[in-house]
Amino acid sequence: MKTPSSAPAVRSAPPFPRWAPWLFAAPWLLVFGTFVAWPLVRSLMLSFMQTFGPGTTTYVGWDNFRYLFHDPLFYRALWNTFLFTLGSVFIQLPIALALALLLNRPTLRGRSVYRLLFFLPSLVGLVFAGVLVAIMFEKRTGLVDAGLHAVFTRWDPDFPWLEQYVMPSLIIAGVWLYAGFNMVYFLAALQHVSSELLDAAAIDGAGPWQRFWHVTLPEIRPVAGLVVLLSVAGSFQLFELPYIMFNTTGNPAGPDNSALTVVMYLYQMGFMSGDLGYASAIGWVLAVLLMGLAALQRWLARREEY
């Protein structure tokens, strides 16, 4: 390998051939053009069509969107997705942060082992997790009810998670899967919190809670904002977990549609009913919502800088 010192810095470098960047960008450009840009345009077109599979299409104008905005199932899906998102942000992320705070001591023994173990569940794909969670949350025979009943004898071993508490069970599964994952982000951020600042606060008589609230939290706020945004975006894509959990019952949307998510509804309309047009319309509404949220987050982050 050539080392930089072998080249005199004064000589001006020869220009690169004009084709070079295009050669390197070509594979990505091809894939982008074919499988992203064109489908994006096509999805806009499709959202004004009704289809019966890709072979049969007919133009229906604003029909899809008009129906969508009055579709109680779509609102139900949106509501469920929103609930799961709330659970991710207000239950899972605080747990992740708490774990990170516990781990964030340079003197702690076995720190990397803990980190490794907490990280483990996030490797389990949502499909596989779906199978596992479905069997775990069954009443009477499942691990959750059996375990809770063994620890707290007053716990009803027939607690109907999968019948009446679908969203809580999804959120709990989400905590198990991703709290350790988000912990890694927080841990990285915490390592940049200056210990001088913390020490200074301690000398000024600030208790641990005050130090957390007034020193640590402001310092990790940029990363926290990012983690929240990523969690929200991820939660909005929720599909496999509830789909796998309930699809053997013949109704993946779960009892009383309590597990129906936006992406699941898109999937069912597009690929089980063959209406790619309606699926595209759902996709666009979802995309607009997500971009709105991202813009909101940026605006909030910017406002905070002042």
* Binding to another protein, residues 130-149 (CB under 8 A): 131-132, 135-136, 138-143, 146-147
Q: Is 50 in the site for another protein (CB under 8 A)?
A: yes
Q: Which of residues 256-295 bind another protein (CB under 8 A)?
A: 256-257, 262-263, 266-267, 270-274, 276-277, 279-280, 283-284, 286-287, 290-291, 294
d(CA 133, CA 124): 11
Instruction: Supply the DSSP symbol for 16.
Output: P
Q: Which of residues 146-185 bind another protein (CB under 8 A)?
A: 146-147, 150, 158, 160, 162-163, 176, 180-181, 184-185
Q: Is 296 in the site for another protein (CB under 8 A)?
A: no
Minimum distance of another protein from residue 249's CB (angstroms) = 6
Q: What angle do CA 175, 114, 168 make, to 5 degrees?
A: 10
d(CA 193, CA 100): 13
Q: Is 38 in the site for another protein (CB under 8 A)?
A: yes
The H or E element containing residue 127 is: helix 126-136
Compute the chain's Rg from CA coordinates: 25
State the virtual CA torsion across 190, 193, 194, 196 in degrees, nearest 10.
Answer: -80
Minimum distance of another protein from residue 306's CB (angstroms) = 22
Length of the chain as a residue count: 306
Q: Is 43 in the site for another protein (CB under 8 A)?
A: yes
Q: Which is nearer to another protein, 90 or 287 (CB)?
A: 287
* Chain centroid, CA 272 distance in Å: 25
Minimum distance of another protein from residue 146's CB (angstroms) = 5
Q: Which is nearer to another protein, 90 or 164 (CB)?
A: 164
